[in-house]
Amino acid sequence: MSLRRTALPLLAATALLLTACSPAEFGREQTAADRPDSVVTGAEGKLDVTTLRYVGKADAYDVYLARAADDGDSLCLSLTLDDVWQTTECERDYVSIPISDSASVAADLSYRSAEARDMISDNVWVTRK
C-alpha cells in the first residue's frame, strides 16, 4: 500500500477526533463582541482570549465561553452584568457557574442534543432547579 493511501485515512481520523473535542462555538471567527475588555481584564489571565466567544444571555447575564490559558483542554465560562465582569470559572470538560439560588450556567464538551436543557448555544445551557 502506498504512503498516500495510508496517510489519508490517518489524517481524516485525526481531523475528526480533533473536531469532536472542540465546541462548535470555537468554529467561527472571533468578533469584537466576543472579546469585551471587562472579561479580558477581569479574568486576570485565566482565559486564552483568542478563544473567547460570546454565546448568549442567561437571565440578566451575558455569557462567554473560552479555553483556559494554561490548559487547552479546560473550558471557561465568564459572566458579565451590564458590561461589568462578574466571574470566570474554568474546569476540565465541564464547568458550571451559579447565577441565582435556583439556576446556573453550564458548558460541557460531551453534551448530547437529545438531553433536555435550556440551551444558550451548542454547548452552553442554563440549568434550573
State the Cα–Cα distance between residues 65 and 72, nearest whole angstrom. 13
Neighbours of 95 (CB within 10 A): 21
Structure confidence at residue 93 (pLDDT) = 87
pLDDT digits (tens, 9 = 90+) for 45-95: 999 999 999 999 999 999 999 999 999 889 999 999 999 999 999 999 899
Percent of the chain at pLDDT exceeding 70:
79
pLDDT(5) > 60: no
DSSP notation for 35-85:
S-HHHHHHTTT-EEEEEEEEEEEETTEEEEEEEESS-TTEEEEEEEETTEE
Q: Whole-model pTM?
A: 0.80
Cell numbers found for residue 39: 472579561
